[in-house]
Amino acid sequence: MPRRRFKVDDAVPKSTIRVRILGHTHCVRSATGSHTSRAMTNEEERRLFVELERLKQEHRDLDAAIEAMLHLPDYDRLRVQRMKKRKLQLKDEIGRIEDQLFPDIIA
């Protein structure tokens, strides 16, 4: 079994620890300061890519719907506000999944 190597960048807070990784190994620091790592399986990675694409499509659809509503003379401002809030939530979810799939690699 090949040895997984990782290095922790201690310059950031423990709650947002950045990890130098090789391959798809993820490393997090627990509350006790010990390290745990786990390789992402192909199935998990595939599932995340599918979810990422679904969220991006929903984000694009909301963007188009908001743009269309704004061109109406008497659009519902509350509905547009809710759509924009949902769009921001989607952006956060997309960022979270992208961080899992493409973690910061500090060279």
Tokens of 36: 């745990």
Which residues lie across from 18 on neighbouring strands?
9
Q: How confident is the model at residue 106 (pLDDT cuts 50, 70, 90)?
A: confident
Look up the pTM and report it. 0.61
Q: β-strand 18-20 against 25-29: which pairing, if any?
A: unpaired
Q: Are 16 and 5 in contact (CB under 8 A)?
A: no
Locate the DSSP E strands across the chain: 7-9, 18-20, 25-29, 35-39
DSSP 33: S
Closest residue by Cα to residue 102 from 62, 49, 59: 49
Beta bridge partners of 27: 37
Residue 36 confidence (pLDDT): 45
* Res. 4: pLDDT tops 80: no
Q: Tell whether the torsion through CA atoms of 7, 52, 58 and 93 is positive or negative.
A: negative
What is the pLDDT at residue 1? 43
Mean pLDDT value across residues 57-72: 96
Q: Where are the domains of the chain?
A: 1-39, 42-101
pLDDT digits (tens, 9 = 90+) for 8-53: 444 444 444 444 433 444 444 434 444 444 678 899 999 999 999 9
Q: Which residues contact 66 (CB under 8 A, 6 or more apart)?
A: 80, 83, 84, 87
